Amino acid sequence: MLATIQYNSRKLQINLSNPIDISIPLRASKSNVNAWYIDEPKIEPVKDDQWIASVKDGACINFNNITFNPHAHGTHTECVGHITEKVHSINQNLKQFFFLAEVITVAPEKLNGDFVISKKQLQFAIGNKKRDAIVIRTIPNTNEKLSKQYSDTNPTYLLEEAAIYLREKGIKHLLIDLPSVDKERDNCELLAHNAFWNTKGKTRFDATITEFIFVPNTVDDGSYFLNLQIAPFENDATPSKPILYKIMG
């Protein structure tokens, strides 16, 4: 099914019949993707004395409690409230959900023993394109990203200069296939988070960072229409389901 959408001053023809889900599902399993040194998610039926809220255990319904951390256990979208003393909710600050996005693939560079994404790499990949959102796929890009245990592995991260570049480029929504845009252990400096949200200047409350995505290798680099779906949590972050749609022509 094709739809023609008026977006800013452009008319875009979108293929709605072929959504590309770039989220990682949350599972109650030790093989669920994980970071930040906490246990795996739990999905368990409510128990009341001898009664278990599970159809297989004799109940007429399945009625589960779910215990998880959005930052550690899968695809999530966060607002500046993630790093501020004052509480800011992603549900209150993200009010639009469709964006023109660019998917880029980046091979992290080695710097002082770390793997990083630099400003120069992003400049080369984005060029003079004007986009609302950037979707960063790092390589190697294997299915291991769906179940990797990231704690104490010092994953790839964005340099502060790269985050500043994205902010100055006018990109409001940053999506990446890593557990964080910042270094795992950085003495709480959070340089990329602070730079992207501009916490030392005019804070960008409507800007978001989405981490732990997975962009399959079958998805080409290029322009897409992004539907950034979130669960309505009054929290700094929420599980999310970003969907890409091909732009025809």
Domains in the chain, CATH or no CATH each: 2-26+70-246 (3.50.30.50)
Element (H, E) at 74: none
pLDDT score recorded for residue 177: 98
Q: Tell me: the pLDDT tens digits for 64-117?
A: 999 999 999 999 999 999 999 999 999 999 999 999 999 999 999 999 999 999
- Per-residue pLDDT at 222 exceeds 80: yes
Q: What is the dihedral of CA 26, 27, 29, 35, to 10 degrees?
A: 0
- Mean pLDDT along residues 200-211: 98
Q: What is the dihedral of CA 77, 170, 194, 225, to 10 degrees?
A: 10
12 falls in which pLDDT band (50, 70, 90)?
A: confident
- For strand 10-15 and strand 222-230, is the pairing parallel, antiparallel, or unpaired? unpaired
Q: Are 204 and 80 in contact (CB under 8 A)?
A: yes
E runs forming strands in the chain? 2-7, 10-15, 20-21, 42-45, 47-48, 51-52, 64-67, 76-78, 98-106, 109-111, 114-117, 133-138, 157-158, 173-176, 208-211, 222-230, 237-246
- Per-residue pLDDT at 249 exceeds 80: no
Averaged pLDDT of the chain: 96
- Per-residue pLDDT at 2 exceeds 90: no
Higher pLDDT among residues 3 and 166, named by residue? 166
| C-alpha span between 231 and 98 (Å, rounded) | 15
Q: What is the DSSP letter of 80?
A: G
